[in-house]
Amino acid sequence: MQFEFHFQVKKHKTSLKFSIPILILISLISISAFGNTVFAENDDKIVIMYTNSGHLIIELFPDDAPNTVENFLNLTESGFYDNLVFHRIIKDFMIQGGDPLTKFEGGFTNIPQWGTGGADYDILAEFNSIKHNRGIVSMARGADIDSASSQFFIVHKDSNHLDGKYTVFGKLLTEESYDTLDKIANLQTTSKNIPNDLSASQIIKAAVITRADIENPPSIEELDRLDVTYSSPTMISDRYVNTEYDFSIIPPKGWTVLYPEPGSKPNDPIITFLGQKEQLLQGIDEFAPYIYINANELGDKTFQENLDSRITQYHNMEQTKALLIESEKMHNLITETGRSYGAYFLEAKQLGMGLPVPFAQIILSHSNFIYGITYSHHEELFQNNMAVFDSVIKSFDIASETTEPDIRGLLEEAEIKTTEPETTGGGCLIATAAFGSELASQVQQLRELRDNTVLQTESGTSFMAGFNQFYYSFSPIIADYERENPAFKEVVKLTLTPLLTLLSLLQHVDIDSESEMLVYGIGIILLNIGMYFVAPAVLIMKVRSLTSYNKIPKTI
């Protein structure tokens, strides 16, 4: 039996015609492979896929992804890709194939399972700096970065959000190959991106040849690469580090770290931690807990404006019975590194999806980013891992301010600026709640006084380290009460005015010694804290103890 394969390299005005028995073609490839080392030979190999829409000629990059290239060649030579279809087609994004479940054997079967198949093994990721531009061939995978097997995708339009997250190992070589890519990418599809005309996306035969088999092959072009070391998900010791969004966090011990899939949207989780399955007390069903993290740039809005928008969305969902909010509050998160973040904490249940889906979420911000950390589990098992969730959020850290040498080294390699962490500062919670923003001039005055005056001496630094522990024992209570009671908020504003005036005296005093700092600075700070905050804190705690309820109230 013979197949006639026709292709034309338009760029070089060369037309070739293959009319070779399949057995002879395979035997020739086998003979050419005999006696050479794998990687040396792979430098010259090319894969041709013949489809009913035209051919696809793929040049390979063994220097960037040697194991992936070897795997792709082995599968091609074994006939693995013959009669498979490109089962996932998204115009202007990519076409995906290589699933053995799509094989045509007198007909197509198991269509609902398409996309889940592969070879009987997985290969390790070989992320590199090659950009996912039009025509790039890259390995498809599951959420686990090392789960690639046989499925691959060809980029239809530049998709640089995939850079550094998927293993690029090849690129279309000829203009006719790009024409074929366009034909397949433009096929009509179902709602699940499966082509309606399966025969038009079918790979009739895949074969391996060398550049020498093509007359006047296109010259090797310089690949478009990332300008700097690409920002890829990294684990350093037990800590996950994300240089793109400038944070690090420790996954729960024994949980699986899952990364985004191809085509992820900006609001999709950038990292997910999946726990072990747990069985319900009654029944045989098992459910796994998970914690995921979102991160976005603040843009031209403040953290408070972004947060208000999200809170409004949650309240609208509650009004439409899509969400049941059980508790929400502004919360001062103090991490294990001693940093504090004003954060919004929510416990709720998502409704309208069969069983209620409980979740806990904390939203916080630093610099140019807003972060959301969310935990969810089956309703009966939800409380089992709340302590785990608490430990995860307390492990949150800003990567560029870390003291961890390995992480700082990673950031420096990626040419990301690092700063010395603020170990003795902290959030001015009471003033922030009173004046509505950390950017308010009054809050900035307190920060400047602390940073430029108090922390400039050893005694002032030591004092602030101890004072922070005392301050954070009551300041969240006052800050929350300010948000609950506008009248009390105005009282705090009035009392802060003379405090700021007195504290500003420090900026006009010549402090020449450690003892003078202790006399002037600490004396004034303790005097005003005692007058304006310790007494109100005691009073508020007594009032709240008399009016407390069993159910946690909504306190925004």
Task: Encode pLDDT of 200-221 as tens digits.
Answer: 999 999 999 988 887 777 777 8
CA gap 261, 346 in Å, rounded: 27
Residue 254's pLDDT is: 87
Q: Please enumerate, as own/partner, the contacts of 320-324 that have beta carbons within 8 Å and a separation of 24 or more.
A: 321/351, 321/352, 322/350, 322/351, 322/352, 323/348, 323/349, 323/350, 323/351, 324/348, 324/349, 324/351, 324/356
Residue ranges of the alpha helices (H) in 13-128? 22-33, 38-42, 66-77
Residue 349 sits at the vertex; the CA angle it makes with 346 and 352, to the nearest 5 degrees, is: 140
Q: Delineate the domains of the chain, giving CATH numbers in brackets.
A: 2-213 (2.40.100.10), 234-413 (3.40.1000.10), 429-555 (no CATH)
Burial of 263 (0-12, 13-18, 19+ CB in 10 A): middle
Report the relative pairing of strands 290-297 and 369-376 from DSSP bridges: antiparallel
CA gap 348, 124 in Å, rounded: 39
Query: Do 181 and 173 touch, CB atoms closer than 8 A?
Result: no
At residue 52, φ and ψ (nearest 5 deg) are: -75, -5
Residue 402's pLDDT is: 66
% pLDDT > 70, the chain = 61
Query: Do 265 and 256 touch, CB atoms closer than 8 A?
Result: no
Of 66, 44, 65, 72, residue with least CA distance to 153? 72
As a whole number of Å, the end-to-end CA separation of the chain is: 75
Starting at the edge strand found earlier in the chain, the sheet holding 357-366 runs: 256-258, 271-274, 290-297, 369-376, 357-366, 340-350, 323-334, 554-555
Q: How many helices (H) and strands (E) does the chain have?
A: 15, 23
Task: Enter the tokens of residue 32.
Answer: 């050419």
Query: Cβ atoms within 10 A of the Cβ of 250, count?
Result: 17
> pTM for the full model?
0.46
Each residue's pLDDT tens digit, 508-533: 555 555 555 555 555 555 545 544 45
3-class secondary structure per residue, 433-447: HHHCCCCCHHHHHHH
Q: Please enumerate, as own/partner, the contacts of 266-273 that have beta carbons within 8 Å and a separation of 24 or more.
A: 266/296, 267/294, 267/296, 268/294, 269/293, 269/294, 270/242, 270/245, 270/294, 270/295, 271/233, 271/240, 271/242, 272/143, 273/392
The one-letter amino acid code at 457 reads T
Rg (CA), the chain: 31
Mention every residue, 6+ apart, whose C-beta is less than 8 A from residue 319.
Answer: none
The one-letter amino acid code at 459 reads S
> 107 to each of 99, 102, 103, 280, 330, how far by Cα in Å?
15, 10, 8, 41, 59
At residue 441, φ and ψ (nearest 5 deg) are: -60, -35
**Eight-state DSSP code of residue 324:** E
Q: Beta strands of 225-277 (E only): which ranges?
A: 234-236, 239-242, 247-249, 256-258, 271-274
CA gap 173, 157 in Å, rounded: 16
CA gap 435, 444 in Å, rounded: 11
CA gap 401, 422 in Å, rounded: 8
CA gap 462, 522 in Å, rounded: 11
Task: Tokens 């940093």: give the residue.
Answer: 339
The one-letter amino acid code at 269 reads P
Query: Do 298 and 368 touch, CB atoms closer than 8 A?
Result: yes
Query: What's the half-sphere exposure (Cβ side, CA atoms, 13 Å) at 236?
Result: 17
Burial of 90 (0-12, 13-18, 19+ CB in 10 A): middle
Using 70 as the pLDDT threshold, list the residues of the chain that sit under it: 1-43, 143, 227-237, 260-266, 282-285, 353-354, 402-484, 495-556
Can you spell out the DSSP letters for 147-205?
-B-S-EEEESS--GGGTTTS-EEEEE-SHHHHHHHHHHHTS-B-TTS-BS-GGGGBEEE
